[in-house]
Amino acid sequence: MKSSYYQSQDLKKFKSISDWSPELGKKFFDYYNSVFEEGALTAREKSLIALAVAHTVQCPYCIDAYTQDGLQRGVDKAEMMEAVHVAGAIRGGASLVHGVQMMEVYNKRSM
Amino acid sequence: MPTKSLKAQKSILASTQKQLNLLSGGIFASGELPTFSERIAVQGESSLRPRKLEILQMNIGYMCNQVCAHCHVDAGPDRKEMMTRETLEKCLKIIETTSVHTLDLTGGAPEMHLDFRWFVERAAALGVKDFIIRSNLTIILANKKYNDLPEFFKRHSIHVVSSLPFYKKEKTDSQRGDGVFQKSIQAIQMLNAVGYGQPNSGLLLDLVYNPSGAFLPGDQQALENDFKKALKTNFDIDFNQLFTITNMPISRFLDYLVASENYEEYMYALVEAYNPEALNNVMCVNTLSVRWDGYLYDCDFNQMLDLKVANPVQHLDDFDETLLQDRTICISQHCFGCTAGAGSSCQGSVV
């Protein structure tokens, strides 16, 4: 067993998840590749969304992959950091909006 | 940012042999990654051989007014190597007497060569189909005597190819030096003013994108669209095409890869992105590169590694087009740079 749960080299082995389930693996990667194709959104825009989501789900593999993908697509540091702040704002907002629930319970239970 | 060439710094990697040793050792010697020769063998190619000679690329000297962090030439103000007039004349003869239809002048900053204008006037008079000069742009503003270069280029119908690694200051200056972006923009505006990059002018201005770090270039067309939109909106600049060029793991970029501990990851990325289709269109199959001292190479990268053509003819003095065609192109692991992704050449992607 490796000394750490996360190993950066494992990113290169991502495709090996198909080994134990080729059919589902193929379906997943076909879907994955289709999702990132140029469409109503540009591939560059999709890459930035992926970077933001990677921070939301806190996946170190995805953060590595989509930082590098962004570099290749000419995304600069200001754009990447703004995307991370979008993730932060949604995550933070998701916590804070529950404050309304807290306030309602507090008010209901208080005199 | 470096201020001196690796040669002037007496860096270990100024030695071409040390670079070749590095490129053949480690992950390649251990079999962790296939060598370029092994990789093309999988595709059924035992070697690379030239097709018809079409492009003569002349590196007329390594002197440059810039010291770019990625430069595969290790060029800079401290490099004094320069082609003699006698050698320039021999090149003119080759243009006259061979199948070459494209002349590609590079350096260093070729404009700094003392015989630059003399040579361009003569070469242009020979009527080559495509006469390319690789200009770093800032040279146009480096000294009053260079300010008329846009007019000079226009007079001789030169096809100008210029490096601009990004359409924003930060990435450009981090690769090419402080203030380079602003000067480059000003130089492109001067070229635009005489007609370069303008519709129907016939004056071609192409820009070159090099990644500003240890990553591969993205899609050439997508980047060209981004460059055109940003440069037009922000600086009212026009240009023809964007060429994406992969940074070769040699010379100063190799030094950067090693110093930043990116070397192995970068080589992995190049090998994993190997594209068999790109191999069919690599530039060494129709190009010959001439060094300032008249020695001949399969490409400018092999020149910088001093891998002379594998042929009895190795120098302009003995030039023989037919004999030269019968050779095997010298390869090493840096060649993965030309076959990664959509491929890479001095004319951009090849697939």
B165 touches chain A (CB under 8 A): no
What is residue B308's predicted lDDT score, i.e. its pLDDT? 97
Which residues from chain A sit within 8 angstroms of residue B170, using beta carbons?
Answer: 76-77
What is residue B38's predicted lDDT score, i.e. its pLDDT? 96
Q: Is residue B345 one of the residues assigned to a domain?
A: no
B265 touches chain A (CB under 8 A): no
CA nearest to A38 within chain B: B222
* Successive 10-residue mean pLDDT values, chain B, 351 residues: 90 95 95 96 92 96 95 96 97 93 96 97 93 97 96 97 93 91 97 96 96 94 95 97 96 96 96 94 95 97 97 96 95 97 91 87
pTM: 0.90
The answer on pLDDT for A1 being more than 80 is no
What CATH number did the domain enclosing B128 receive? 3.20.20
For A72, which of B166, B170, B216 is closest by C-beta distance?
Answer: B216
Q: Is residue B95 one of the residues assigned to a domain?
A: yes
Q: Tally the domains of chain B.
A: 1
pLDDT band at A3 (very low <50, low <70, confident <90, very high): confident
Domain range for B30: 6-339
**DSSP states along A68-90:** HHHHHTT--HHHHHHHHHHHHHH
Q: Nearest C-alpha of chain A: how many angstroms from B161?
A: 20
Task: Look over chain A and give the mean of its residue pLDDT values, rounded to a whole number.
Answer: 95
Q: Which two tokens stand for residue B114?
A: 């003392």
Neighbours of B345 (CB within 10 A): 20
Separation CA B217–CA B204 (nearest Å)? 23
Q: Is residue B152 one of the residues assigned to a domain?
A: yes
CA nearest to A76 within chain B: B171
**CA neighbor of B298 nearest in space, from B319, B329, B324:** B329
**B interface test, pick of A72, A76, A77, A81 with most B CB neighbours within 10 Å:** A72
ipTM given for this complex: 0.78
